[in-house]
A = this chain, B = another copy of it.
Amino acid sequence: MTEIKDKPLQIFLDELASKAPTPGGGSAAALMGAQSAALTSMVCNLTVGKPKFAEVEADMQALLAKSESLRERLTAMIQADVDVFDRLMAAYGLPKEKDEQKAARSEAIQAALKEATEVPLACAGLCAEAVALSRIAAEKGNPGVISDAGVAAMAAYAGLKSAALNVYINAGSLKDRSLAESKLAELEALLQGAEGAVEEIYGIVKAKL
């Protein structure tokens, strides 16, 4: 089976649009996050090594290392979202005729739901990190390509809000309510941190155009 990241954009978009349940919004969220990290890397790559920007050389090198690591993790999330959904569907598909089958199925579903809450929550966390990195690119990057830092901020924020929807859905079905509440609290902290930040970053970029 070809990993999604190795498929042409056109095929990915065709599959996203199709009635197949995956790839869906979770993969789109991860791809938006990966695009964000890529654009922060682009700003770094067009800043480093230029005498004009020598003052921020070390900062931009450090930022580039972080954004490239983040890009790799977010790219892997495009596939991870599909895999976790498939495992959840497999659990729902378990037999439920006998009482002991019912118990085993319910346990499998809850285990899959926990994972299906944690994977988009991890994606949301990486997108929040992508927002933070785009701010450094906006503040210190080559002003000639600063608009790409603004796109990085918007893409990461869209990825975060999108991943959040899958956390809401799956945490909502968790029977372990204290686990669910703690995951939702983590998510709220990520959302609150990013919300004002994105508008600020966009403002910083717009002021430099």
Contact = CB atoms under 8 A, between A and B. Distances in A.
Interface string A46-57: 100000000000
A33 B26 CA distance: 16
A87 B36 CA distance: 25
Contacts of A154: 157-158, 161-162
A168 B206 contact: yes
Chain copies in complex: 2
Given A32-B158, A172-B209, A205-B165, A145 B45 contact: no
Interface stretch (A5-13, A101-109, A110-118): A5-13
**Would you call the interface of chain A mostly helix, strand, loop, or mixed?**
helix
A37 B13 CA distance: 9
Contacts of A4: 9
Interface of A: 4-10, 12-14, 16-19, 21, 24-25, 28-29, 31-32, 34-35, 37-39, 41-42, 45-46, 67-68, 71, 75, 78, 145, 147-148, 150-152, 154-155, 157-158, 161-162, 165-166, 168-169, 172, 202, 205-206, 209
